[in-house]
A and B are shown apart, each in its own frame.
Chain A
Amino acid sequence: MTLEAIAEEFADVDDETRLELLLDYAVRLPPLPPAYHALRDAGVNMIHECQSPVFMTVEVTGGTVHLYADVPREAPTPRSFVSILVRAFDGQPAHHVLEAPDDLLYRLGLTHLLGMQRIHGLSAIYRHTLSEVARQL
């Protein structure tokens, strides 16, 4: 599913539906492949700006982006956002990922829904993902 399609899914729905959509994404985060468990457990590639332990490894191979992520179920909000990024970016060409808009959280309607105080950890996840793609390209 493209980022544009996801943004469309979040546009024009009320806040309650938007929360349900997020919860649904939180549930659907693919399990972290066992090969990455050791990295996660060693605390590598953690996004420190998030209060909950958010693990995100970004790999660019042959110009294609791969995301491997894990977020505890007790932190459904960052988990849902990570799940959106995995769905939108995993398997996509890097140059396409780097065209993603700076104001994604706003476009998804999350800035208003979560409030300023809760949005920053998500911004950090987003920045980390895009800057890792750019660095490895």
Chain B
Amino acid sequence: MADKAYADKSVLVSTDWVIAHMGDTANVRLIESNEDVLLYGTGHIPGAVHIDWVNDLNDQLVRDYVGHERFAILCREKGIGNDTTVVFYGDKNNWWACYAFWVFKLYGHEKCVIMNGGRTKWLAEGREITTEVPNYPAASYTARSQDRSIRAFRDEVLAHQQAGRPLVDVRSPAEYDGTLLHMPAYPQEGALRGGHIPGARNIPWSRAAREDATFKSRTELEAIYLDEQGLDPNAETVAYCRIGERSSHSWFVLTYLLGFKNVRNYDGSWTEWGNLVGVPIEK
């Protein structure tokens, strides 16, 4: 029996699709986004540009994203116009690719897709990589101001929590329990208190990915998010992690693969909530 299609199957492309469309550089731009800033330089898909989540997407002074004007400059420099189809891929189950995807959506970019399986699958298939950095003619780009409908701020999260609406904590179980103040491998990104936002369910982000770094099927995802965890696709839902990157992966899964109507990513996440004075915490 054929598996049930994703709610929006237009946001995922295969490595074969990329092979077929990578030559169309006037309309398609491949973007590699990794955790490791040097990884792109060791070899990437021919024609792909690099966007780094720290240096390109985060403001270095204020804790926020770069702002729509600087975002527009970034796109122009990478030869991305408002109509360009941007194809994100990267390391670690497309974790950072989803984060970049979310930031592009925040600034209203319409045609965003993820290459299913990311860097891992591309390399596992023995496909070509290069260290040659492409140069594209500057494009014209107009970015909208941030789309707040996909981003949650702390006061909104507090109101959401107090109204008893669904929250999804996508960190590891030990972070959720408050045993650990950080991801096992990321010591100093902690907070002064451990635990989770009261009422949040713990669904680690990586449960949505298969061994080969592709997303699980819709049926498998529904078994986790709907049947096991009881989330409601029609309910306003907030996802969070530690700084908002893992939860952008879950935001992608809930919004596009499962068709949830209203999911927001709380990028302040635990590094904000666990440091706030006076907010409720549960262990």
Assuming the A-B contacts A51-B185, A121-B185, A124-B187, are A74 and B55 also in contact, with contact meaning beta carbons closer than 8 angstroms in the complex? no
Contact residues in B for A115 (Cβ distance below 8 Å): 54-55, 58
Give B159 Cβ to nearest chain A Cβ, in Å: 28
Within 8 A of A (CB), among B161-206: 183-189
Contact residues in B for A76 (Cβ distance below 8 Å): 36, 38-39, 41-42
The reply to whether B38 and A23 form a contact with Cβ atoms under 8 Å apart is yes
The reply to whether B35 and A19 form a contact with Cβ atoms under 8 Å apart is no
B11 within 8 A of partner (CB) = no
Give A22 Cβ to nearest chain B Cβ, in Å: 6
The reply to whether A26 and B187 form a contact with Cβ atoms under 8 Å apart is no
Which of under 10, 10 to 19, 20 to 34, or 35 or more describes the interface residues of A? 20 to 34
Assuming the A-B contacts A80-B38, A115-B54, A118-B54, are A48 and B185 also in contact, with contact meaning beta carbons closer than 8 angstroms in the complex? yes
Contact residues in A for B186 (Cβ distance below 8 Å): 49, 51, 117, 120-121
Measured CA separation A73–B39 after assembly (Å):
9
A130 within 8 A of partner (CB) = no
Contact residues in B for A112 (Cβ distance below 8 Å): 60
Within 8 A of B (CB), among A10-39: 15, 19-20, 22-23, 26
B91 within 8 A of partner (CB) = yes
The reply to whether A22 and B189 form a contact with Cβ atoms under 8 Å apart is no
B226 within 8 A of partner (CB) = no
Give A11 Cβ to nearest chain B Cβ, in Å: 19
Contact residues in A for B38 (Cβ distance below 8 Å): 19, 22-23, 26, 76-77, 80
A50 within 8 A of partner (CB) = yes
B243 within 8 A of partner (CB) = yes
The reply to whether A77 and B189 form a contact with Cβ atoms under 8 Å apart is no
A98 within 8 A of partner (CB) = no
The reply to whether A117 and B189 form a contact with Cβ atoms under 8 Å apart is yes
The reply to whether A120 and B42 form a contact with Cβ atoms under 8 Å apart is no
Measured CA separation A20–B37 after assembly (Å):
11
A114 within 8 A of partner (CB) = yes
Interface string of B122-165 (1 = CB under 8 A from A): 00000000000000000000000000000000000000000000
Within 8 A of B (CB), among A40-79: 48-51, 73-77
Give A44 Cβ to nearest chain B Cβ, in Å: 18
Contact residues in A for B188 (Cβ distance below 8 Å): 116, 120, 123
Measured CA separation A113–B183 after assembly (Å):
22
Q: Which residue of B lies closest to A119 (CB)?
A: B188
The reply to whether A49 and B185 form a contact with Cβ atoms under 8 Å apart is yes
Contact residues in B for A114 (Cβ distance below 8 Å): 37, 54
Assuming the A-B contacts A74-B91, A115-B58, are A49 and B39 also in contact, with contact meaning beta carbons closer than 8 angstroms in the complex? no
Measured CA separation A114–B54 after assembly (Å):
7
Measured CA separation A22–B243 after assembly (Å):
26
> 8 tightest A-B contacts by CB?
A115-B54, A76-B38, A51-B185, A120-B188, A23-B41, A77-B36, A77-B38, A49-B187
Extra contacts, 14 of them, besides A15-B55, A48-B184 (Cβ < 8 A), are: A23-B41, A50-B185, A51-B186, A74-B36, A74-B39, A75-B39, A112-B60, A113-B37, A116-B189, A117-B54, A117-B186, A118-B35, A120-B186, A121-B185
Some 16 contacts from A to B, beta carbons below 8 A apart, are A19-B37, A19-B38, A23-B38, A23-B42, A48-B185, A49-B187, A51-B186, A113-B37, A113-B55, A114-B37, A114-B54, A116-B188, A116-B189, A117-B243, A118-B54, A120-B189
